[in-house]
Amino acid sequence: MPYPITHTDAQWQALLQARGAEPGAFAITRRAATERPFSGRYEQHWAAGRYHCMCCGAPLFEAAHKFDPGCGWPSFWQALPGAIAEIEDRSHAMVRTETVCAQCGAHLGHVFADGPAPTGLRYCMNSAALAFEPAGP
């Protein structure tokens, strides 16, 4: 699937480094790796603000839509409109729905139908794929 923002692997690596990304961010965002549960910087982060794609900076989630499902990854019950693209993922002998940034195709995590009301969804994200912008004054 083509995305509006594209770069070479070397360019993505340089961008991630310039943005202060975690060491595993390239493998997670560009190679669909997964960080260990309960290890990400945003797993227990509850400040007001907005979460963006670590690769391209596109806004993805409002902090007000974050909840703690106890799974070990930051989870949200709703994404910003048009922010996420979904791809069928048949890896690891499972059928899941992968979530990627709709602007650059960065792997973010997966979405599951076991979240809270009102959507019933759980966008289970890798912290290393996210950047946080605190709410203004």
State the catalytic residue, choosing from 53, 101, 104, 124: 124
pLDDT for 137 beyond 90: no
124 is catalytic: yes
Residue 118, preceding peptide bond in cis (omega within 30° of 0): yes
Quote the pTM value: 0.94
Quote the CA–CA distance of 53 and 106 in Å, as a whole number.
Answer: 8
Q: What is the pLDDT of residue 121?
A: 97
Q: How confident is the model at residue 134 (pLDDT cuts 50, 70, 90)?
A: very high
Q: Which residue has the higher pLDDT, 135 or 2?
A: 135
Write down all domains in the chain, each with its CATH number in brackets: 9-134 (2.170.150.20)
Segment 113-124, tens digit of pLDDT: 999 999 999 999
Q: What is the pLDDT of residue 4?
A: 95
